[in-house]
Amino acid sequence: MDSPEFSPESNRPDTYYPALRLDLPDAEATGRLGRGLGQRLPARTILLLSGDLGSGKTTLIQGLGQGLGIADAISSPTFTLVNEYPEGRVPLYHIDLYRLAGEEVTDLYLDAYWDERETAPGIVAIEWAERLVDVPPSALRIALTYAEGGGRGAVLSAATPDQFSLLQEVLPYGLLVDEV
Protein backbone atom coordinates (compact mmCIF):
# COMPACT_ATOMS: atom_id res chain seq x y z
CA MET A 1 0.00 0.00 0.00
CA ASP A 2 1.38 3.40 -0.91
CA SER A 3 1.39 5.86 1.93
CA PRO A 4 1.33 9.63 1.49
CA GLU A 5 4.32 10.97 3.34
CA PHE A 6 4.80 14.30 4.99
CA SER A 7 7.51 16.35 3.33
CA PRO A 8 11.05 16.48 4.73
CA GLU A 9 10.35 20.08 5.67
CA SER A 10 7.70 18.87 8.10
CA ASN A 11 10.14 18.74 11.02
CA ARG A 12 9.46 15.05 11.49
CA PRO A 13 11.72 13.98 14.34
CA ASP A 14 14.11 11.09 13.80
CA THR A 15 12.75 9.47 16.97
CA TYR A 16 9.44 8.29 15.50
CA TYR A 17 8.54 4.76 16.52
CA PRO A 18 7.77 2.01 14.01
CA ALA A 19 4.79 3.02 11.90
CA LEU A 20 1.76 0.79 12.22
CA ARG A 21 -0.18 -0.09 9.08
CA LEU A 22 -3.88 -0.95 9.31
CA ASP A 23 -6.30 -2.45 6.86
CA LEU A 24 -9.63 -0.64 7.08
CA PRO A 25 -12.00 -2.68 4.91
CA ASP A 26 -14.92 -0.26 5.19
CA ALA A 27 -16.11 3.04 6.65
CA GLU A 28 -17.17 1.26 9.84
CA ALA A 29 -13.59 0.11 10.46
CA THR A 30 -12.35 3.67 9.91
CA GLY A 31 -14.94 4.97 12.35
CA ARG A 32 -14.02 2.23 14.84
CA LEU A 33 -10.39 3.37 14.73
CA GLY A 34 -11.54 6.94 15.37
CA ARG A 35 -13.78 5.85 18.27
CA GLY A 36 -10.94 3.91 19.88
CA LEU A 37 -8.67 6.93 19.62
CA GLY A 38 -11.39 9.23 20.96
CA GLN A 39 -11.90 7.04 24.01
CA ARG A 40 -8.20 7.04 24.90
CA LEU A 41 -6.34 10.05 23.50
CA PRO A 42 -5.46 12.61 26.14
CA ALA A 43 -5.94 16.35 25.89
CA ARG A 44 -3.04 18.09 24.15
CA THR A 45 -2.93 15.46 21.38
CA ILE A 46 -2.37 16.74 17.86
CA LEU A 47 -3.50 14.44 15.02
CA LEU A 48 -2.11 15.18 11.58
CA LEU A 49 -4.20 13.48 8.90
CA SER A 50 -3.17 13.14 5.27
CA GLY A 51 -4.73 11.33 2.33
CA ASP A 52 -6.50 11.85 -0.95
CA LEU A 53 -10.08 13.08 -1.21
CA GLY A 54 -12.42 10.37 0.01
CA SER A 55 -9.72 8.39 1.82
CA GLY A 56 -11.54 8.56 5.17
CA LYS A 57 -10.13 11.57 7.04
CA THR A 58 -13.52 12.99 7.99
CA THR A 59 -14.93 9.52 8.75
CA LEU A 60 -12.05 8.94 11.16
CA ILE A 61 -12.70 12.29 12.87
CA GLN A 62 -16.43 11.53 13.10
CA GLY A 63 -15.50 8.32 14.93
CA LEU A 64 -13.08 10.31 17.10
CA GLY A 65 -15.94 12.62 18.07
CA GLN A 66 -18.15 9.64 18.96
CA GLY A 67 -15.35 8.23 21.12
CA LEU A 68 -15.08 11.59 22.87
CA GLY A 69 -18.84 11.58 23.56
CA ILE A 70 -19.63 14.51 21.26
CA ALA A 71 -23.35 14.51 20.40
CA ASP A 72 -23.17 17.09 17.58
CA ALA A 73 -22.87 15.91 13.99
CA ILE A 74 -19.28 16.31 12.82
CA SER A 75 -18.69 17.51 9.29
CA SER A 76 -15.55 18.63 7.53
CA PRO A 77 -14.91 22.36 8.03
CA THR A 78 -13.79 22.83 4.41
CA PHE A 79 -15.23 26.35 4.20
CA THR A 80 -15.27 27.38 7.86
CA LEU A 81 -11.72 25.97 8.29
CA VAL A 82 -12.15 25.19 12.02
CA ASN A 83 -15.00 23.55 13.93
CA GLU A 84 -14.82 23.48 17.72
CA TYR A 85 -16.63 20.85 19.78
CA PRO A 86 -16.16 21.74 23.47
CA GLU A 87 -18.69 19.33 25.02
CA GLY A 88 -16.88 15.97 24.78
CA ARG A 89 -14.64 14.19 27.28
CA VAL A 90 -12.06 16.74 26.10
CA PRO A 91 -12.65 19.44 23.47
CA LEU A 92 -12.12 18.59 19.80
CA TYR A 93 -10.73 21.17 17.40
CA HIS A 94 -11.29 19.96 13.82
CA ILE A 95 -9.28 21.84 11.20
CA ASP A 96 -9.41 21.39 7.41
CA LEU A 97 -6.62 22.92 5.31
CA TYR A 98 -7.82 21.59 1.92
CA ARG A 99 -8.43 25.01 0.38
CA LEU A 100 -5.30 26.69 1.78
CA ALA A 101 -1.57 26.82 1.14
CA GLY A 102 1.55 28.54 2.46
CA GLU A 103 0.89 31.91 4.04
CA GLU A 104 -2.87 31.31 4.15
CA VAL A 105 -2.18 28.48 6.60
CA THR A 106 0.35 30.53 8.56
CA ASP A 107 -2.15 33.41 8.83
CA LEU A 108 -4.59 31.16 10.71
CA TYR A 109 -2.25 31.06 13.75
CA LEU A 110 -3.17 27.43 14.37
CA ASP A 111 -0.42 27.11 16.96
CA ALA A 112 -2.83 28.88 19.33
CA TYR A 113 -4.70 25.54 19.50
CA TRP A 114 -1.71 23.52 20.67
CA ASP A 115 -0.09 26.34 22.66
CA GLU A 116 -3.45 26.72 24.44
CA ARG A 117 -3.23 30.50 24.45
CA GLU A 118 -6.87 30.92 23.49
CA THR A 119 -8.43 27.48 23.90
CA ALA A 120 -8.88 24.83 26.55
CA PRO A 121 -6.60 21.79 26.22
CA GLY A 122 -8.13 19.34 23.79
CA ILE A 123 -7.48 17.19 20.74
CA VAL A 124 -6.52 19.06 17.58
CA ALA A 125 -7.31 17.03 14.44
CA ILE A 126 -6.00 18.53 11.19
CA GLU A 127 -7.13 17.28 7.78
CA TRP A 128 -4.70 17.95 4.89
CA ALA A 129 -1.93 18.41 7.47
CA GLU A 130 0.73 18.22 4.75
CA ARG A 131 -0.19 21.86 4.05
CA LEU A 132 1.05 23.01 7.46
CA VAL A 133 4.12 25.23 7.31
CA ASP A 134 5.18 24.69 10.94
CA VAL A 135 4.41 21.18 12.14
CA PRO A 136 4.16 20.48 15.87
CA PRO A 137 6.99 18.03 16.65
CA SER A 138 5.03 15.70 18.95
CA ALA A 139 2.07 15.14 16.64
CA LEU A 140 0.55 11.73 15.97
CA ARG A 141 0.40 11.20 12.19
CA ILE A 142 -2.23 9.21 10.33
CA ALA A 143 -1.89 8.76 6.57
CA LEU A 144 -5.00 7.28 4.91
CA THR A 145 -4.91 5.61 1.50
CA TYR A 146 -7.10 3.64 -0.86
CA ALA A 147 -6.46 -0.11 -0.64
CA GLU A 148 -6.42 -2.60 -3.49
CA GLY A 149 -9.79 -4.26 -3.89
CA GLY A 150 -11.63 -1.52 -2.00
CA GLY A 151 -11.47 -0.31 1.53
CA ARG A 152 -8.80 1.91 2.95
CA GLY A 153 -5.48 1.64 4.68
CA ALA A 154 -3.94 3.73 7.42
CA VAL A 155 -0.35 4.26 8.50
CA LEU A 156 -0.02 5.61 12.04
CA SER A 157 3.23 7.18 13.23
CA ALA A 158 3.78 8.02 16.89
CA ALA A 159 6.25 10.67 18.05
CA THR A 160 6.41 9.71 21.73
CA PRO A 161 6.58 6.49 23.76
CA ASP A 162 3.18 7.32 25.29
CA GLN A 163 1.60 7.67 21.84
CA PHE A 164 3.13 4.40 20.66
CA SER A 165 1.83 2.58 23.76
CA LEU A 166 -1.60 4.11 23.28
CA LEU A 167 -1.70 2.97 19.64
CA GLN A 168 -0.81 -0.55 20.71
CA GLU A 169 -3.78 -0.49 23.13
CA VAL A 170 -6.25 0.96 20.61
CA LEU A 171 -5.38 -1.05 17.52
CA PRO A 172 -6.26 -4.64 18.47
CA TYR A 173 -9.99 -3.91 18.20
CA GLY A 174 -10.73 -5.96 15.10
CA LEU A 175 -8.20 -4.17 12.91
CA LEU A 176 -5.36 -5.86 11.05
CA VAL A 177 -2.03 -4.32 12.09
CA ASP A 178 1.51 -4.61 10.67
CA GLU A 179 4.61 -2.70 11.68
CA VAL A 180 6.25 -0.95 8.74
Cβ contact 59:25 at 8 Å:
no
Residue 97: the pLDDT is 84
- Count of structural domains within the chain: 1
159 lies in some domain: yes
9 lies in some domain: no
154 lies in some domain: yes
**Is residue 79 very low, low, confident or very high in pLDDT (cuts 50, 70, 90)?**
low
7 lies in some domain: no
13 lies in some domain: no
- 106 or 70: which leads in pLDDT: 70
- pLDDT per residue as tens digits for the range 25-37: 999 999 999 999 9
6 lies in some domain: no
- Distance from C-alpha of 46 to C-alpha of 159, rounded to nearest angstrom: 11
Q: Please give the average per-residue pLDDT across 1-23, as a whole number.
A: 55
Cβ contact 126:97 at 8 Å:
yes
The CATH number covering residue 122 comes to 3.40.50.300
Q: Tell me which residue range forms the domain holding 77.
A: 18-179
30 lies in some domain: yes
Prediction pTM value: 0.81
Residue 3: the pLDDT is 38
62 lies in some domain: yes
Strand order in the sheet with 45-50: 82-85, 92-96, 123-127, 45-50, 140-146, 152-157, 20-24, 176-179
